[in-house]
Amino acid sequence: MTTPATARDRAKAERADALLHEAARLFAARGYSGVSLEDIGTAVGISGPAVYRHFSGKQALLGAVLVKVSEQLVSGGTKVADAPGDAVERMRVLIEFHVDFALGNADVIRVQDRDLAHLSEEDRAEVRRLQRTYIDLWIASLKPLHDAPADELRLRVQACFGLINSTPHSTRSHSRSYASTADILRAMAHAALVASHD
């Protein structure tokens, strides 16, 4: 049987998730400076001051959005990298994971590209740490497939992310299906990672 406290906790968690979702959507549409706490509260049916029951302010909301997405990338990427299988299959699944993540989280990618500077120093450091962890697990997965120094592997991985993450900025029409877009991005990402430069 669900206790009142458990129900309240669940409702509070759901409201916090809704605030994060709407904050990401509004920040993506208008930029961090163009959004108020009142805007975010209204989007989920509460007043601006009521947002403080869940987050200490707009900057804390931005931090929660970007830290959460970085944690999700590291968690998902780690599961792929640690799964049984050969290096070719691991890289294929990593690419698939990141493409699906980018296409499914376009708002958050726009916010990270544009509004990272508005984070608190603590949240910015945490996002950067998580980003480095994610890049490093990709480098480790690419290394068996490409005989190249570490700095080149890092360049390839970061260029691959740039290619995939730019998609939310360039595929705003519905003329191409999700599956078709994902297939093209997977093929391009694989080519970017393993292409010879001789």
Q: How far apart are alpha carbons 127 and 136 in whole angstroms?
A: 14
The dihedral sign for the CA sequence 165, 169, 170, 176: positive
Global pTM reads: 0.87
Which tokens sit at 62?
A: 């931005």
Instruction: For the chain, 198 residues long, give each residue's pLDDT as a single digit of tens.
Output: 556 668 887 888 899 999 999 999 999 999 999 999 999 999 999 998 899 999 999 999 999 999 999 999 999 999 999 988 899 999 999 999 999 999 999 899 999 989 999 999 999 999 999 999 999 999 999 999 988 899 999 999 999 999 998 875 555 545 567 788 889 999 999 988 887 766
Q: Which of 51, 21, 15, 1 is nearest to 111 (CA)?
A: 21
Cβ-contact 117, 63 below 8 angstroms: no
Burial class of residue 102 (count of CB atoms within 10 Å of its CB; 0-12, 13-18, 19+): buried
